[in-house]
Amino acid sequence: MHTRVDPAEPAFQAIISAMTFSLGVCCDEQEIHHLAFLPPTDEVAPQNALAAEAARQLCAYLADAEFLFVLPLRPAGTPFQRRVWQQIAAIPTHHTRSYGEIAQALHNAPRAVGQACAANPYPVVVPCHRVLAAGGGLGGFARQTDGFLLNVKRWLLAHEGC
């Protein structure tokens, strides 16, 4: 769920700023519901303890790409999407995989993997930016092949030294 959302939307319990984008955190007291990339916008102070912890961890990652997230994520997606997200979560920092490599591991098609990546509700935490097109091309990001979100993908990959 990488879609841009109106940053004034009350669904965000926190918004943090990065270099060229912001991250919205939607959660309750128990689980993260989704994270969203936003155009650069004003930060919103965390509105509950989990939002504060998510903001702390996201800021730690933005300062150090080696940071490992430990956040309670609300179960989401289809069984296939969850299998793709598990494969993505296993990609180490500073490494990438192709849609085809993940598809082969799951005995499925690269396009289906790409669609599951685009549906990822936890970008950065489940690092779908580490999934590239065949031959190392960027591919898409959140159903986009250019513009704001692809620039976010470039930034994340550079931040991780990929």
What residues act catalytically?
Answer: 128
Q: How far apart are CA 22 and CA 85, in angstroms?
A: 22
Other beta carbons less than 10 A from residue 6's beta carbon: 11
Question: Residue 57: which H helix or E strand, with range?
Answer: helix 49-63
Place of tokens 């997200």: 85
Non-local (6+) Cβ contacts of 111 within 8 A are 99
